[in-house]
Structure 1
Amino acid sequence: MHRGLLAFGLLLSLPASAEEGMWTYDAFPAAQVKKTYGFEPTQAWLDKVRLGSVRLAGGCSASFVSPEGLVMTNHHCIRGCIEDLTTAKDDLLAKGFQAKSAKEERRCPKVEANQLVEMTDVTERMNTATKGLTGAAFNTALKKETATVEGACATGTDVRCDVVTLYNGGKYQLYKYRRFQDVRLVFAPEFSMAAFGGDADNFNFPRFGYDVAFVRVWQDDAPAKSPDFLPWAKEGAKEGDLIFVSGHPGGTERKSTVAELEFQRDVALPQTLLTLAEMRGMLREFTSGSPDRYRMARSRLRGVENGLKALRGRQEALADPALLARKRQEEAELKKRIDANPQAKALTQGMWDETGKALEAWRRMMNDYRMKGAGDAFRSELFAHAQALVRAADEKSKPNPERLREYTDGQLPGLHQQLLRDAPIPSELETLGMTFGFNKLRETLGADDAFVREVLGKEAPADLARSLVRGTKLGDVKVRKALLEGGKAAVDASKDPMIVLARKVDAQTRASRKQYEDTVEAVLKRNGERLAKAYLAVNGTSGAPDATFTLRLNYGQVKGWDDNGTAVPALTTFGGAYGRDTGKEPFKLPDPWMKAKGKVPDQMPLDMATTNDIIGGNSGSPVVNREGEVVGLIFDGNLPSLGGRYAYVPESNRAVAVHGDGILAALEHVYGATRVVNELKRPVAPAAPAR
């Protein structure tokens, strides 16, 4: 177990911290903040910060930081964009990028940005649609109503609407977003500086990374106006300062049942960890083959290493007996309160047994679903395009509420963006991924399995992968566009080997997905909703709902912690970064930093630790002060924060951010990015007052 996680169990018995909670904007505990810190955000303050926040649809957060559509996020959040723009002759991932003018800003092929503009409660409507239904009927009705509500809301391609589940189905809201699909790269540092310290420093602190990037949203071929933006603070954050983080935490399971947590610990996480470990080994071997292979796969390797470390931290948290002991105690106390409330008791009648049976069914079908329904057997972007084209041809002919979710009217703009953006797809990586997937398919289901035989025939996995990748034309966006616009007739007539494979396996992959959705997902969703309603009936909404990659606001302070007797400071400095440099990766400072040594005072803050309650998805979130001004940029958490998916431990759980002063200092003195610096420092009107 990691040293930072050793004290996890001992701290779980502590009362809930004031900082705990990823709060929705319509239920932020402003009075609680005032009681703790003497500051109460007004509604105008909350609205300004909400509208200044941005979601990157690929799984990250960001923020508007100028009135001209300039958006700040993490380098690792737009690494895919930089990779798409990189070539062997112009390695932007290695050397970084800086646009000296608007004309030089380069479009990110696959990045979509969303700004939350409206929230509407639709709980009654969703409950009416599913009233009295169970199992597959419940799930089908829920999905149909979701598609109907979202479709009516999404009135154009510049609008995105999502039905959001809160409190595991205790509440539903419709979130309406302003959608930007023209996002252009403005500034990015070197990959080595954004990820300084590599996997060794990942989820650790002290940290010295400069995980910063700027993009800009455009509309009608001009920078979009963004009047609701977060101005840069004139004074940086100091230890003990009250700060807020506005972002999109991806997912927590703090209100899951003990049975679900045990399933994660015993079944789901071990399988995923094993797969990631194998992928890491495969990618390490591949990247060592040549400089060109390293260039192609370094980002993917970093992502796999990050996932492996993050999930290992979750596994260790669930393996701590104290955590499950606390969860069992909390569940037992909840059952007592439910039993004492006739309405809540009726809601949950038989629920615990049903959940257990659904998880057992999930255990039995997991291998089949992972390979077929979830697509683990087909680890290829080219195949993903083929499957999307095949399914779109079928799904578009159905009424909107009856389609698979990703093909409903509200979701199609995002799908079209993925299919119709011109970005390179490295054939060697595609072959590697498909080979890995085909080998795992045969290993998992067995050589005699009918589906395995249908996919592989008499081919060896590597040979089949090479043949498919060499034979397909789907790497050409013009080919994909012709098939998309040609519809079912064009797709059915296509002899492209990837399309042929996608057609051949479509019925079985659909069937596997449907089996999971009808027998596992449906039961867990409905029972989660039943338990949530019972929880709300006996406890109210005193706590924040679990994270769902929707906009949340939390508060905390700049603060270090005690790591088993070792005091960990809240701030690191530029001087510390130079002291950590070894001249060799992953602790090698890039040339611009070495040349700038001495231009920035050694004591200038670089990174900072805070008590804010965050999780994956918060990457790229702005850190703001009482005035709603930017003082930092979230990019990571420490090792104890990995257990934050299940419980928040105030004594040791820390978010990690790039300090606002450090961001500006490096932009100006290391990179000479005066265009960005001037835009960030531009005078603005006073922020909305607080009371």
Structure 2
Amino acid sequence: MKRLVVVAALVGALPALADEGMWTYNNFPSAKVKAKYGFEPSQQWLDNVRLSSARLAGGCSASFVSPNGLVMTNHHCARGCIEQLSTAEKDYIANGFSAKTEADELKCPAMEINQLSEIVDVTDQLNKATQGLSGKQYSDTLKAEMSKIEKDCATSDQVRCDVVTLYQGGKYNLYKYRRFQDVRLVFAPEHAIAFFGGDPDNFEFPRYDLDVSFVRVYQDDKPAQIANYFKWSKGGAKDGELTFVSGHPGRTSRGLTVAELEYQRDVVMPKTLVTLAEIRGMITEFQKRGPEQQRISNNMKFGVENGLKAIKGRHEALVDKKFFATKVAAEQELRQKVEANPELKKKYGAAWDEIAKAQEQLKLIRKELNYIEQGQGLSSSLFNIAQRLVRAADELPKENGQRLREYTDAGLPAFKAQLFSTAPIYPELEIARLEFSLTKLREELGPDHPFVKKVLGKESPLGLATRLVNGTQLRDVAVREKLFEGGKKAITSSKDPMIQLAILVDPDGRAIRKNYEENIESVIRKNSELVAKAKFEAYGTNVYPDATFSLRLSYGSVQGYTDNGKKVTPFTQMAGAYERNTGEDPFALPKSWIDSKSKLKLSTPMNFVTTNDIIGGNSGSPMINKDAEIVGLVFDGNIQSLGGDFGFDESVNRTVAVHSDAIIEALAKIYGANRVLEELRPGKQPPVKAKPAG
């Protein structure tokens, strides 16, 4: 695999090269796009694209594609909703779903969609509040000021406000969102075609996936009216065409220091790979119990396998000696510039060493932080609900700025939506997950660790997991609501075993979190801010920040690439899916595709690749042309792009998307989804009779 060596050498320090960059909308390099492609996005164009873009609060991207609230995203992004709406009798994951009428659209139990309405720079306000502070005082003041800004911004439950940290603290922006919490499923194809090729094809190209779903946002029980939305292109993406991706890349690490990258390479990633492999093994064994067990755990397995392959690719990038040497060289160059200037040295010179010391401290508490506070030791939806209820009873009576960040006023609407979600919780799967995590807790911390003794007592992991899951009433949303409304009195008097466990372990979790936030996180935050400011002074501000699951815009073009000496063309065709079909998973086309083959134009482009710079979280992003029209739907990156967490190489990094023509062809001739077609291309698509999915 070709690695990121030359192009990525000074990522995080110098202005972006080639088509590199996940740019914020208030610092987009329109002039660079014009210089290379002859098109300069105007402010009006940028505003329209921003407002036409959407975010799934659970971790994906999306877009508005009609004035009546129709939203397009990936099947794997809507998969949680699809699975939660499914039953053993109606398996929408296996068989697909298509709402024949508006009344047939099904409400997703736990989906929230956000539209970014405004961006405000609040850097000066936060810098002024924290000036001269360090340690606990810096951490507490920064969080309190963030909470205040967010609370003043969030004027109703229909508004969400997040202070976003950019450039590792060099800048702070307030992102104000329009929030939609009534989201309903409109269309989803079968899993077999949405993830055709399965894990063997994941992060590979050529691909033949129809990884698309449509949902609709509602307001006051009616389809929401949307002023800005993407229209559909007439012919889809063409070879060499300029393309834009507007989405929410989850997190990159291009601006991290060498010490932070070493911690990821040597500690976090190797351990995470082992843990995910063990979880995959646990799920695989669970699925052997029967078809229902397989159905209810498929989504979890999908996520684990995806994460396992992604982290493996990122780890391979960091263990590549040539690539890592470029990160070291970039940092040394910046530090030399700082050392050569007495004023810069005084302000920023110690920052890298302070971050390195914090990484050493993090190594010492990593296991306890992960297994006591961050969920690895008590992995259970029901325990998570219990912990939220217990902490809400303690946190909500406090002043807004003094609460844990997840309990601030600005976050309460989303918090309540998750807490009171009607998404099904399956006891058998809960027991399996909890038994596994309790076993790992004892293994990692040791049987003599006070926390392990406190949790397990004389019970086995299986015995405790079974007693807790079978004894709790927290699967009942009404019970959760009663406990939440009853506050501290209701919590302390509850006999629910899951609540009692959450109360028992809460002091331990809070203690390790306090140590981390005050003595490690605050040091990293403060000194990362100094490193970022040093970069600004040395190289200027014509750089993009690391991804933070906030809306970004990247530009590129439709281009193939060379892989191990073999030329990879940028397009696949629908015919290729039939050629690849074996009739056995994961290369088994669904019956609807087999039955409809004669109706299709098999030369229709299926999937394609571009040079757009993306990362995980961009799944579901719209791929648009210069006229802000849909030409594709992002659903993956190629295997070479997995190192994109740390750098970008235009020669091989590729975004993988579903071609817009393939979506139309399938909706019309395979699924007969005429309602969706009419919204995407009003008056242009003649109805085609086909058996709707589901």
Which category describes the TM-score, using the shorter chain as reference length?
A: over 0.9
**Deviations 1:238-297 (Å, cap 9, x if unpaired)?**
111001000000111111111111110000111111110100111111112211111011
**Deviations 1:607-634 (Å, cap 9, x if unpaired)?**
1111000000100000000100001000
Q: How does 1:551-562 map to 2 (within 5 A)?
A: 551-562=551-562
**Deviations 1:430-468 (Å, cap 9, x if unpaired)?**
001100110011001110111101100100001110110
Distance (whole Å) between structure 2 residues aligned to residue 451 and residue 545 of structure 1: 39
- Tell me the SS of whatever aligns to 1:185: strand
Distance (whole Å) between structure 2 residues aligned to residue 682 and residue 384 of structure 1: 45
Change (3 A) 1:10 1:154: closer
> What are structure 1's unaligned runs of at least 5 residues?
685-691
The residue type equivalent to 1:362 in the other structure is L
Verify: 1:54 aligned to 2:54, yes or no. yes
Residue of structure 2 in register with 1:34 after alignment? 34
Change (3 A) 1:120 1:11: closer
Q: Decide whether the 8 Å contact of 2:94 with 2:190 is kept in 1.
A: yes
Q: How does 1:531-570 map to 2 (within 5 A)?
A: 531-570=531-570
Residue of structure 1 in register with 2:572 after alignment? 572
Q: Decide whether the 8 Å contact of 1:280 with 1:301 is kept in 2.
A: yes
Q: How does 1:5-44 map to 2 (within 5 A)?
A: 5-9=1-5, 12=8, 17-44=17-44
Distance (whole Å) between structure 2 residues aligned to residue 661 and residue 341 of structure 1: 57
Residue of structure 2 in register with 1:527 after alignment? 527
> Percent of aligned positions with the same letter in both sequences?
55
Q: Decide whether the 8 Å contact of 2:4 with 2:648 is kept in 1.
A: no
Q: How does 1:325-404 map to 2 (within 5 A)?
A: 325-404=325-404
**Deviations 1:302-338 (Å, cap 9, x if unpaired)?**
1100000000001000000011100111111111222
Shift of 1:139: 1.2
Distance (whole Å) between structure 1 residues aligned to residue 43 and residue 542 of structure 2: 19
Distance (whole Å) between structure 2 residues aligned to residue 181 and residue 287 of structure 1: 32
Q: Decide whether the 8 Å contact of 1:344 with 1:538 is kept in 2.
A: no
Q: How does 1:192-271 map to 2 (within 5 A)?
A: 192-271=192-271
Residue of structure 2 in register with 1:687 after alignment? none
The residue type equivalent to 2:479 in the other structure is V
Distance (whole Å) between structure 2 residues aligned to residue 436 and residue 370 of structure 1: 15
The residue type equivalent to 2:278 in the other structure is E
Residue of structure 1 in register with 2:299 after alignment? 299
The residue type equivalent to 1:495 in the other structure is K
Residue of structure 1 in register with 2:600 after alignment? 600
Shift of 1:644: 0.3
Shift of 1:10: 6.7
Residue of structure 2 in register with 1:108 after alignment? 108
The residue type equivalent to 1:32 in the other structure is K
Q: Decide whether the 8 Å contact of 1:258 with 1:327 is kept in 2.
A: yes
Q: Decide whether the 8 Å contact of 1:287 with 1:293 is kept in 2.
A: yes
- Tell me the SS of whatever aligns to 2:19: coil
**Deviations 1:68-120 (Å, cap 9, x if unpaired)?**
00000001111111111011111111111111111111111111101001111
Residue of structure 1 in register with 2:590 after alignment? 590
- Tell me the SS of whatever aligns to 1:620: coil
Residue of structure 2 in register with 1:498 after alignment? 498
- Tell me the SS of whatever aligns to 2:44: helix
Q: Decide whether the 8 Å contact of 2:317 with 2:323 is kept in 1.
A: yes
- Tell me the SS of whatever aligns to 1:672: coil
**Deviations 1:201-259 (Å, cap 9, x if unpaired)?**
00000011111000000000000001100001112111110010000001111111111
Distance (whole Å) between structure 1 residues aligned to residue 344 and residue 462 of structure 2: 56
- Tell me the SS of whatever aligns to 1:514: helix
The residue type equivalent to 1:515 in the other structure is N
Q: Decide whether the 8 Å contact of 1:246 with 1:623 is kept in 2.
A: yes
- Tell me the SS of whatever aligns to 1:255: coil
- Tell me the SS of whatever aligns to 2:230: coil
**Deviations 1:367-395 (Å, cap 9, x if unpaired)?**
11111111211110000000000000110
Residue of structure 2 in register with 1:474 after alignment? 474
**Deviations 1:658-684 (Å, cap 9, x if unpaired)?**
001111111111111111011100279
Q: Decide whether the 8 Å contact of 2:75 with 2:194 is kept in 1.
A: yes
Residue of structure 2 in register with 1:629 after alignment? 629
- Tell me the SS of whatever aligns to 2:598: coil
Q: Decide whether the 8 Å contact of 1:377 with 1:440 is kept in 2.
A: yes
Distance (whole Å) between structure 2 residues aligned to residue 351 and residue 500 of structure 1: 43
- Tell me the SS of whatever aligns to 1:262: helix
- Tell me the SS of whatever aligns to 1:410: helix
Q: Decide whether the 8 Å contact of 1:53 with 1:64 is kept in 2.
A: yes
Residue of structure 1 in register with 2:687 after alignment? none
Residue of structure 2 in register with 1:64 after alignment? 64
Q: Decide whether the 8 Å contact of 2:2 with 2:652 is kept in 1.
A: no
Distance (whole Å) between structure 1 residues aligned to residue 409 and residue 469 of structure 2: 31
Distance (whole Å) between structure 1 residues aligned to residue 255 and residue 683 of structure 2: 44
TM-score by length of 2: 0.97
Residue of structure 2 in register with 1:689 after alignment? none
Q: Decide whether the 8 Å contact of 1:641 with 1:654 is kept in 2.
A: yes
Q: Decide whether the 8 Å contact of 1:12 with 1:322 is kept in 2.
A: no
Q: Decide whether the 8 Å contact of 1:52 with 1:229 is kept in 2.
A: yes
The residue type equivalent to 1:290 in the other structure is G
Shift of 1:343: 4.0
- Tell me the SS of whatever aligns to 2:544: coil
**Deviations 1:564-586 (Å, cap 9, x if unpaired)?**
11111101110001100000000
Q: Decide whether the 8 Å contact of 2:559 with 2:610 is kept in 1.
A: yes
Distance (whole Å) between structure 1 residues aligned to residue 148 and residue 253 of structure 2: 28
Verify: 1:315 aligned to 2:309, yes or no. no
Distance (whole Å) between structure 1 residues aligned to residue 3 and residue 481 of structure 2: 55
Shift of 1:35: 0.5
Q: CA RMSD in A?
A: 1.3
Residue of structure 2 in register with 1:507 after alignment? 507
Residue of structure 2 in register with 1:418 after alignment? 418
Deviates more, 1:504-513 or 1:337-346: 337-346
Distance (whole Å) between structure 1 residues aligned to residue 307 and residue 93 of structure 2: 20
Deviates more, 1:222-231 or 1:674-683: 674-683
Shift of 1:341: 3.8
Shift of 1:352: 1.9
The residue type equivalent to 1:274 in the other structure is V
Shift of 1:6: 3.9
Distance (whole Å) between structure 1 residues aligned to residue 107 and residue 344 of structure 2: 52
Q: Decide whether the 8 Å contact of 2:338 with 2:349 is kept in 1.
A: no
